[in-house]
Structure formats: structure tokens, C-alpha cells
Structure 1
């Protein structure tokens, strides 16, 4: 299979790239989300019931390897495939780890060939699970998490799963992360566990995984990017600055300013967001949508504190002591249309979630704006991930605990509709192929440690 070049030329040239057409449309979707929230507060309900796709119908498909059946409800003309379930054999002789999480889809340089780099949030107890990867490649000999890379080919009008292999091993709770503009995945650990809890190494770091790697990448912890419970990661392609979310009820928003843009291993400065002129602003409650505030960034003196295992807020507290702001459990983080978007899944007066927009201005600060706050769970509750569709709308991974988990579409006018529903498990990790033909997502649940689905069909027939 052809590989994607991710050498020095790519790292140097990524800063010159402009935003994609999808990114340019993203802001319209965000504005529609805010408009929908305002309408819901005024008592209006959704006018769009299907996004133009019509009624959902039941589709049943089986994983060719495990034989396990999966049921989804999709619009007419759409189909799906299920593959690469936890425990399935991989090309390198290992087994697919459990707890499928976030992922990104990268081109290989050949038309219709892609690579998915997929995170696995395996935690467990030291030695309780099967360690991932090869003994010589593991960061921690006891760690069962990491990433896998999947080869996908579009052929005969549908995507075909070809092979999978371990691309990062020996880490813990690495279901979150984000793609870089130079073709790699930043795998982020959502735990600060370490040797005191019986692990073979300290955890709570970010690791870089090139999508072009045909085997295991070097498991190098990027310690200057902070040791805390990480959520997703986003990279500003104009500056190379990395934005990091913190997956805790008491969370900070961080940025990492690299010494060499595109080469994160060279180190840099970790900083935490602070509202300019105000001290320790609590963004979780009493916030007004669309009211932008100017923010600045305060340095975190010790991004890898020795006390982090015993105190998971050891990094947060450094920024807090300098007046930084607090958010409610930041799990989502992505870049679009010149801004960074942060999903605070427990934020808001109703505790049903917020979406924040940070728009950088130069190298100093920027503006922070609350784009959306869910007024009630019936509109939207705790999205576990989101993706911008080829048409500039949003796909939201939602599991409210009331009925079937769903992939919900959101139009640029802010109307929400159920695009797909799934029997059993949670949904997350949604991402489109680079050409917009296929939507990939991950499923997992109490009786199912994880699998990946691919959905395709007439996207242009509706709002997505």
C-alpha cells in the first residue's frame, strides 16, 4: 500500500496551506448551532426532521472477521460496513486493542486509498489486560492502550478494509487526540496514573504517531506538552500552535507553543487560558452566548510536575494560581475556519454542554466566545465528538442515555436531526474521508469493547 510522506518538507510547508472548503463552511454551522439554541430557549422546536434524507430504515451488516452482526438505522440509499473489532487479528500478529476512541483519516497520495489512525482508551489495572504491541516497542510494558492504523481502499463504489497494525503501544487511556497538518496523529492519555499505582512508567502525556508509519512509531512522551488528563488536541496550521483540552470536571484550556513548528519533540512552552483583566473566571455557569471576551495565556512553569500522579490537577493549579479560567470537562477540541472549538460536555447552567470558540490574534491572545450552550437535553446532550461534513454542516456523536445512541446532523441554520441510530454501545470518533465519501465512527459498549463502522451514500441529497 502506498504511504503518505511526512518528512521535513511536509512539516515545513504545512504553514503555507490555506483552509479547506470544509473549514470555510464550519463557521456557518457554528453560527447555526447558536441560533438553534436561542430558538429552543424561546420555545421553538426543530423544523427539520430528517435533514432532507427521509425516514430511517433498518440495515443489518456483519463483521467479516468476527461474524458479529450490527444493526443501524440509516436513510434510504445509505449503507455501512463494520470491521476491525477488538480482539481481531492484525497484520503484525497482534490483536486489535479494546476501547476504540478518536481517530483521523489521512490520504496516502493514491486516489481512493486512506489510512485511519485510531486511538484506544484501554485503562484497566496494571497487568490486568493484554499489553499492546511488541515488547520492544511499548512505552510501558504493562500498558494495553495505544493506536492502531488501518488501511482503507475505495473500490467498486464502497470502502474496503484491508489491514490493521499497531502503531503506538504501551500507553494508557489514549482514546483522545487529534490530527496534525503534517500527517500525524497526536495520541493523548486521559490519566495521570504512574508507578505509584503499579504501572511501569508515568502516564498523562501526548505521543505523536505518523500516519505513514508501517509499524510501531517510537513511543516518545512529549513531556513539555503537559502531564494531565487529556481530552482532544487541535493544531493551528498557520502557526503550528497546539491546543489541548483537559478531560476533568475542573478543566483548563491549554496551548503549546513549539520551539520549532511541526517538530514537537524539540520542546516549547505550555500555557493556560486566562480571561484578560479578570481572575479565575468560571466559564461553566452564568455565561452569555455570543459575548466575546479577550483572553491571554499564562505560562505553566512545570508542565511535568512530579506530584501529578497524586494530584491530577498539579498542572491546572499552576495556571489557576496565575488567574487562569476553569472549564467544565473539555473532551472535544478541533480546528476549523481559523478558530479552535472546545466542547465542554458538562458545562452550562443546565450541565448539558457548551461549545466554545477561540479565535487567535497574533502571537499573544485572542477572543473567546460561547457559541452554544444546550438549554435542555432534548435539544442536545453531551456530544462525544463532532465532525464537519463535506457540505459544511456538523455530525454530532450523541448518547443521552434515553433511547438509541445517534449520529445527529446539524444544518448551517442550526436545525438538529437524527441521521443515523445504532443498536447498542456508544458512538464516537466521527471523521470523514479526505474526499468526503465516507463517514467513519467507532462503537463500544459494556458487552462490546469496540469496533469501527464506515457509512456511505448520497450525502448531497440532504443537509450534510
Structure 2
């Protein structure tokens, strides 16, 4: 293990995860565990269907390793930009956030975002996410979602466009009632000209996972209009927690009037640290609070749907005026172990990333990871909890992108590396039986199924 890795592991210490990894918080914060072995050393591996990785006019990746993986892992591609889907439309580009759901007859359903902005196209696909105009929120916008149905072996049965007319769909999150919340990372405003946006953007939309075709795109206005990134739902209460991708973002919660009926309205709030009622910028000077739960409270956002993009009127401007805590580019979020984990991609003393854990029962937030070495962890973006109880982070950094795990001893380990290009990993999630990890390489737009001993990892 290199000295830089040792030094980094001293900073993350114990307490990096929580119940059922609760033993971490019982350890001494200054403990310095060794670098974790994870699943073993990585080496380049060809996909099982390498001969199929050619899309005319898009790319030719035949006989090229896409991933470096530990021993005992294998993978294959199931959906690539430019391929023809079951509904006759083309797979859009810019694969991003994603979640999986158990489907009928032992199938698995994936709902996947496409981070396409306005008329952005990929490899000649002029239509982006192609649904009928009557289903679209904005006929000018090419973003949205597609849905993939897989068999028990992780092979694609059918796929289709499921939501269209939205802008820059980055991340989102699954709900416990069987839908995907897809988030617009854009606050574009309409223009009188038909050659640009016809709607205000910056909303969350709900996509039923088991719908057989496209869903009518209806913005959930009460969840706020801002640079949305990700959502995580507390299954006990139905409260939705949300991140915002800006340098001075807030961490929000949406308390719906009726659980599971988000369009019925609710209250949008932002997190405030009780010890910093006038506000705090958590991007710097919080490494000393590592593993220390900080008491929080919530402030109401009086106007969740501002008409313009001025800072004072924005949701974050309203929250900051009330002392809401600022976070450095809130991105991926995931509910697990009774907590909501969320990444701040550029947070920390060296701006290489943080991971926070919010505890809704204790009303605390805890810094559980802060990168002090970019060679170990850089720009954690999407995040999920694996079937082995470990946290998995998906990097969007400048020095090569990896999938990085964190175990209950506070040890980091790499489980995969992008071996084909410098594109980010995104949309990482696990099948309900724990057999597969699904993950996207955003460019050129490939969804992968990674099979391995996910449940047998070191605790």
C-alpha cells in the first residue's frame, strides 16, 4: 500500500458507514485501518459479448476491454447509444442515473436517464428520447428516460422510451412504491420562439417502473425548481430527500401531503445545522468534524417554483437567507441502512469530494468520507449501497474513473476501473437478488451488467 493511501485512510478512520455497519461509529475516530483488499487486484477484462460492440455511425469497441475488474467478475453490454430499441426508436446517448426494480415473471426492470440538453444529439440521433409529442413536457427538449426489461440471466428482453421532453436528466432515485424519480439538472427558461424551450425547466418527474410504454411527463412543482441532481426516499415516511448540483447548493427534503402521491403537493425544506443558524459552508473546514453527528433542523422554502433564475428568488437563495447549510455540488444520493447518503463532488479541503450521511430518526448529518488524496478517491458522483452492506461510489474525476467501495472498517477499495476512455461511471445500482451490478459508461453511452460475488465481499 502506498503512503498516500495510508495517509488517506487515516483521515477516513472509523465511522464511515452506519447500521447495519453501526460498529463503525463505536470505534475511535482516530483509528487508522489498513487499505482494504476488496475483491482483489484489477486487470483488464473483455466483455462477454465483445463482438456485438459495434454500432454503425456511433462506435466500434470490439475486442477492447471496457472494464478492469477483480478475479471472479465478468460483464456484458446490454444497451448502447444508436442501437434500435423494441419500440423502433434509437437508444439515446448520455446514459446517466438509473435504478432497478423487480418485474413480473422474475424479470428485472431498469429505468435509465439520458442527460441530453435541448436539441443535443448523439451519433446522428436527432430525436433524443423519442416519444410522441403529446407525452412530452417540452417538444424542444431531447432528454428523458428509457426502460429496459431483463431476464433472470441479465440479458435484455425489450427496451423502450419511457419519458421525453425533459432537459438534462442527470440523476434521480427509486421510490418504495415502484417508480423512478428523474431530475432535470437545468433551469432553462422558455422563449417566445418555437426554436427553443417552451417550458420552464428544473423539475422532477415520476416514471412508473412497470409501465409498458411512455409516461405523460408531468412536473412535480412542489419538489422545487432548481438544478436537481438526485433523490432518495425514506420508505418509512415517504419523505423525499434531494441534492442540488451547484457550488453553493442545499440539501432539501420534500414532505408530501400524501405518501406516494407526490403530485398532490407538499412542503419543500432545506437543511440547516443547529450550531450554525446563520449558515455554514460545508465545503471547507469540516474535516475536523469527521464521524461526528451534527444536529440539524429544517427551514421552509416559501416559493418552490420561482419564475426566474435570480439567486434571491431561487430555492437555494431562499434557503441561504434562512441559514440553510451550503454543500459543494450535491450529486448522488441513496437511502440505505436507515440513512440518506449523498455525495458532494467538489467538497473537502482539496475539493476532491465528500460523502455525508443524514439520519432522519436522530436528525443529524455526519461527514463520513472526505478525500485528501485524488489518487485514492476523486469526485465521487453517483452512490449506492450494495448487497454486501458496503457503500459504492462512482467517480466523475479528471484522472481516470473508478468504482470505489467502502467497507464497515472504513477501508476503501477499487472494484472497477474504466479501461476504455475517460468517461464517468453513472447510474450504479444492484439487482434485487444481489447478483448483478448495473452501471453506465456515459460516453459513448453503454449500459453494463457486472456479475460477481457481490454478497461474498469482505465485511
Query: Which TM-score band (shorter chain)?
Result: 0.7 to 0.9
Deviates most, 372-381 or 92-101: 372-381
After superposition, residues 57-72 of structure 1 pair within 5 angstroms as 57-60=44-47, 61-62=49-50, 63=52, 66=55, 68-69=61-62, 70-71=64-65, 72=67
Aligned ranges 1:255-294 → 2 under 5 Å: 255-276=253-274, 278-287=277-286, 288-294=289-295
Greater mean alpha carbon deviation, residues 64-73 or residues 91-100: 64-73
Equivalent in the alignment of 1:160:
155
Contact 2:344 2:380 in 1 (8 A): no
Contact 1:116 1:149 survives alignment (8 Å): yes
The correspondence for 1:390, drawn from 383, 387, 390, is: 387
Report the equivalent of 2:334: 334
Match of 2:167 in 1: 172
- Within 2, Cα distance between the matches of 1:246 and 1:312? 16
> Which digits, 9 at most, give the CA deviation of each residue in 1:175-208, with x for residues without a partner?
2100000000000000000214931211100000
- The residue correspondences of 1:65-84 to structure 2 (distance < 5 A) are 66=55, 68-69=61-62, 70-71=64-65, 72-84=67-79
Choose from 86, 90, 95 the match for 1:100.
95
Relative distance call for 1:292 and 1:82 in structure 2 (3 A) is same
Distance (whole Å) between structure 2 residues aligned to residue 314 and residue 191 of structure 1: 13
> Paired residue for 1:47?
35
**Are the aligned partners of 1:122 and 1:144 in contact in 2 as well (CA < 8 Å)?**
yes
Q: Supply the distance in 2 between the matched residues of 1:30 and 1:409 (Cα, whole angstroms).
A: 17
Q: Which residue of 2 aligns with 1:192?
A: 187
Secondary structure, counterpart of 2:155 in structure 1: strand
Map of 1:191-340 to 2, 5 A cutoff?
191-196=186-191, 198-276=196-274, 278-287=277-286, 288-308=289-309, 311=311, 314-340=314-340
Kept after mapping to 1: 8 A contact 2:224/2:268:
yes
- Paired position in structure 2 for 1:115: 109
Cα distance, 1:290 vs structure 2: 2.1
Rounded to whole Å, the distance in 2 between the matches of 1:206 and 1:459 is 32
- Partners in 2 of 1:224 and 1:371 — Cα distance? 30
The answer to whether the 8 A contact 1:37-1:375 is kept is: no
1:412 to 2:445 alignment = no
CA contact (8 A) 2:357 2:365 kept: yes
68-77 or 255-264, larger mean C-alpha shift = 68-77
| Cα drift, residue 38 of structure 1 | 5.5
1:378 to partner: Cα distance: 2.4
> What is the distance in 2 between the residues matched to 1:385 and 1:339?
16
Cα separation, 1, equivalents of 2:452 and 2:372: 33
Distance of aligned partners of 1:26 and 1:166 in 2 relative to their CA distance in 1, 3 Å threshold = farther
Paired with 2:120 and 2:392, the residues of 1 have a C-alpha distance of: 36
Give the structure 1 partner of residue 85 of structure 2. 90
Q: Is the 8 A contact 1:442 1:453 kept in 2?
A: yes
TM-score, structure 1 length as denominator? 0.85
- Indicate the SS of the match to 1:306: coil
Work out the CA distance in 2 between the residues paired with 1:375 and 1:75.
25
- Cα distance change, pair 37–402 in 1 and its aligned pair in 2 (3 A): farther
In structure 1, stretches of 5+ residues that fail to align are: 1-24
Report what 1:9 is aligned to. Answer: none
Change (3 A) 1:33 1:295: closer
The verdict on how the C-alpha distance between 1:55 and 1:102 changes in structure 2, with shifts beyond 3 A counting, is closer
* Residue deviations 1:204-223 (CA, integer Å, cap 9, x gap): 00000000111111100001
Contact 2:222 2:267 in 1 (8 A): yes
What is the aligned partner in structure 1 of residue 353 from structure 2? 353
Q: Which runs of 5 or more structure 2 residues have no equivalent in the other structure? A: 1-16
Q: Tell me: CA distance 1:30–1:188, structure 2 relative to 1, closer, same or farther (3 Å).
A: farther
Moved over 4 A (4+): 28-39, 124-129, 310-313
- C-alpha RMSD of the superposition: 2.6
Change in CA separation of 1:35 and 1:248 when aligned onto 2, cut-off 3 Å = farther
Counterpart of 1:319 in 2: which secondary structure? helix
2:272–2:298 CA contact under 8 A, matched in 1: yes
In the TM superposition, what is the alpha-carbon distance from 1:401 to its structure 2 partner? 2.4
Deviation for aligned residue 1:54: 4.7
User: Relative to structure 1, is the Cα distance of residues 166 and 127 closer, same or farther in structure 2, using a 3 angstrom cutoff?
Assistant: closer
Larger deviation, residues 195-204 vs 118-127: 118-127
User: Larger deviation: 171-180 or 189-198?
Assistant: 189-198
**Is contact 2:119-2:142 (8 Å) kept?**
no
Size of the alignment, in residue pairs?
423
Quickly say closer, same or farther: Cα 1:324–1:367, change in 2 above 3 A: same
Could you tell which deviates more after superposition, 196-205 or 261-270? Answer: 196-205
Cα displacement (A) at 1:438 = 0.5
> For residues 22-41 of structure 1, what are the structure 2 equivalents within 5 Å?
27=19
1:141-163 per-residue CA deviation (whole Å, 9 max, x = no partner) reads: 011110100011123xxx21111
- Counterpart Cα distance in 2 of 1:228 and 1:386: 21
